[in-house]
Amino acid sequence: MQRPELLGDRYELRGLLGRGGMAEVHSGWDVRLGRAVAIKLLSAPLSAQPDSRRRFDVEARAAAGLSHPHVVAVHDVGEYRTTPYIVMERLSGRTLADALDHGPLPDHAVRALLDQVLSALSAAHRAGVLHRDIKPANILLTEDGSAKVADFGIAKLADSADTMTGQIFGTMAYLSPERIAARPATVADDLYAVGVVGYQALSGRLPFPQENLAELVRAISEGLRPPLAALRPDADPALVDVIERALARAFGSATEMRAALPGGLPVRPPTRVLESPPVDPTTRVVPVRRRRRRRPVIAAIGAIAVVVMVVVAFVVDSASRPSAPEPAGSTTSEPSPPTTSVLPPPSSAPVPTDQQGPPKDRGGGNGKGNTNGHKPKHSQGG
């Protein structure tokens, strides 16, 4: 049995999975890693057109630059016999379009679907990528029911020049009035398409089901659609409100729309919010430092005062005792050694009765341990 030809000496090309306007998607096998993959090949007629090849390259770069649990992962890119191809993760589930063929989805499923799609778009928009073709056929459902956004074939990169005023890309039923008017694509256009998907998933029909192109353009431009609440009066009003606001282009970002979903997380404002209210610096720093600096000073003054009182008491006691009699027969008298004064006694100490006149103040102080006649200065926090 002849071995199938390998793309890039690595990928076996197997059965056809689907075909779109630009490309075919085949089942494939990665012989190097031993895993199933999906291989997207640009159709042969478009492979010779530089614009189509450039758009295919934009898709590869846009998807490959996003690593997100709700974006179909791109593993590799290459060219096979002059035909570009993209190797993607293989999902064994189905598309949202397949699921909607069986009717509308319950509230909780629609809410989870929109949350996951908006999470993917939030990451894409932060990376400077606009999808521009959000629709049920480009939302894949895995076996566990989660959603993954695929097909960035007409995505707009921030550094690319593929989008020009006057050109319209995308599926008409999911385009906003601004896109139909050929204005440049914006984030609000992707969110509008998410609103259309939500409307369709909740009601089982498109908000603008007109098949005639002129009538469809007029209905979208004028917003001629039945209110979603009239089609699903039993639906969660909060969910219905988010979808209606998306169709009215009322959201500025995917994160904002995601937060508005029932049970969504609140969005932080663009300005930074302090975790705790500000504290007056005069009460936060100065009193604490003042108490810490004064305690050792007060303790030192108290210790000095105790020492002074002990020394003064000793001096007073020595002065009040009578002099010892000289021994008999002594013809010479040796003068007593002078008394060393440490500090003048405090003003509260009693004055000896045998002292003539007030004691002299040798230091010019006030008797409280300082020498300049002023109270000691304490630190005020620096």
Structure tokens at 188: 């609000």
- Summarize the confidence of residues 294-322 as an average pLDDT: 59
E strand residue ranges, 331-371: none
- Domains along the chain with CATH numbers: 1-90 (3.30.200.20), 92-267 (1.10.510.10)
DSSP string over 63-93: HHT---TTBPPEEEEEEETTEEEEEEE---S
Residue 294 pLDDT exceeds 70: no
- DSSP lists the bridge partners of residue 149 as 71, 139
pLDDT tier for residue 350 given thresholds of 50, 70 and 90: very low
Question: Considering the chain, what is the average pLDDT of its residues?
Answer: 75
Choose between 283 and 256: higher pLDDT.
256
Confidence (pLDDT) at 155: 58
pLDDT, tens digit (0-9, with 9 covering 90-100), for 222-270: 988 999 999 999 999 999 999 999 999 999 999 999 999 998 665 554 4
Identify the band that residue 57 occupies on the pLDDT scale cut at 50, 70 and 90.
confident
- Tokens representing residue 21 in the block: 């306007």
Q: Is 135 annotated as a binding residue?
A: no
In this prediction, residue 58 has a pLDDT band, given cuts at 50, 70 and 90, of confident
Closest CA to 217 of 173, 166, 161: 173
Strands 94-95 and 74-80: unpaired
Dist. CA 137–CA 151, nearest whole Å:
9
> Distances in Å between the alpha carbon of 51 and those of 55, 62, 74, 162, 174?
6, 16, 21, 8, 23
115 is an active site residue: no
∠ CA 128-134-136, nearest 5°, is 150
Identify which has the larger pLDDT, 322 or 4: 4
- Distance from C-alpha of 131 to C-alpha of 123, rounded to nearest angstrom: 11
Alpha carbon 129 to its chain centroid, in Å, reads 19
Residue 128: which residues within 8 A CB-CB, separation 6 or more?
157, 158, 159
Instruction: For residue range 151-200, list pLDDT tens digits in order.
Output: 875 556 544 444 434 444 568 899 999 999 988 889 999 999 999 999 99
The percentage of the chain sitting over the pLDDT mark of 70, rounded to a whole number, equals: 63
Give the single-character DSSP code of 227. Answer: -
Predicted local confidence at residue 5, as pLDDT: 76
Structure tokens, 303:
């210790």
Which range is least confidently modeled, 41-45, 145-149, 292-296, 301-305?
Answer: 292-296
* Whether pLDDT at 376 is above 70: no
Percent of the chain with pLDDT over 90: 38
Catalytic residue among 115, 133, 189, 190: 133
pLDDT for 264-275, tens place per residue?
A: 665 554 444 444
**pLDDT value at 144 more than 90:** no
Query: Is 278 or 34 the better-scoring residue by pLDDT?
Result: 34
State yes or no: pLDDT of 360 exceeds 80: no
Residue 338 burial by Cβ neighbours in a 10 Å radius (0-12, 13-18, 19+): exposed
Is the whole-model pTM more than 0.85? Answer: no
